[in-house]
Amino acid sequence: MSALAALIRRDIRIALRVGGGALIGVLFFLTVTVLMPFAVGPDLALLSRLGPAILWLGALLASLLTLDRLFTADHEDGSLDLIVMSRTPLELACAAKALAHWLAAGLPLIVATPVLGLLLNLDGTATLAVALTLLAGTPALTFTGMIGAALAVTLHRGGLLLAVLVLPLSIPVLIFGVAASQAAISGPMSFGTPFSILCALSLFSLVIGPFAAAASLRHGLD
């Protein structure tokens, strides 16, 4: 267990230091969200109706932005070789890396959501609903994104391929995330139904993600 704890600690430490991905993700999220009112115009009713969708898209793109470094950084400096050789099963190491990425890059997005909700004219309940759906849904984005990151690890400019691979996979998460937020804001559906499916998607990807990523890393060894 201490091996996994060491891996999580290291990845979080690197993400938080200068040049790490944690702050860049939040800044990108902020920029995308701030740009939206300029594009949509000063219609407050329209903004609050689009708000949850904008926040979800922003979070999706921001988590994708930092995800491509998940394995490439370790691949480039040779760390990945040692991780593959180690006594820790590769599946667990992948899960630990994804968890560290979510803690360093996913959680700050959720913390930033209330502030950005103000910019989009969302009231307290709506902001809370969006933050809650992001909390339940962003692990699914990270863990499915990890599969794409593992597939693209040996390619130069793999980040672009990553987006093409991962964005279609994240459609279900996006649908149920936004649906749950809208249900909490305006009804008529109950919040619980789409939210449960969102949680199920996250749990599903928590199980599938590490195995698929480890398999593609092993296959891509060179």
Residues near other proteins, by CB under 8 A: 2-3, 5-7, 9-10, 13-14, 17-20, 76-79, 81-88, 221-222
Rounded to a whole number of angstroms, the minimum distance from the CB of residue 14 to other proteins is 5
- Judged by DSSP in three states, 43 sits in coil
Least Å distance, CB 158 to other proteins, is 18
Q: Is 41 or 77 the residue whose CB approaches other proteins more closely? A: 77
Sign, Cα dihedral of 97, 100, 102, 106 = negative
Of the candidates 84, 86, 198, 82, the residue with the CA atom closest to the CA atom of residue 150: 84
Is the bond into 188 cis (omega within 30 degrees of 0)?
Answer: yes
Q: Smallest distance from the beta carbon of 60 to other proteins, in angstroms?
A: 26
Min CB(100)–other proteins separation in Å: 12
15 or 213: whose CB is closer to other proteins? Answer: 15
Comparing C-alpha atoms, which of 220, 94, 79, 84 is closest to residue 161?
A: 220
Closest to other proteins by CB, 13 or 46: 13
Cα separation of 152 and 31, whole Å? 27
Considering beta carbons, is residue 93 or 132 the nearer one to other proteins?
93
Nearer to other proteins by Cβ, of 32 and 217: the residue is 217
Give min distance, CB of 219 to other proteins, in A.
Answer: 10
Number of neighbouring beta carbons within 10 Å of residue 17: 10
Q: Containing H/E element for 146? A: helix 124-151
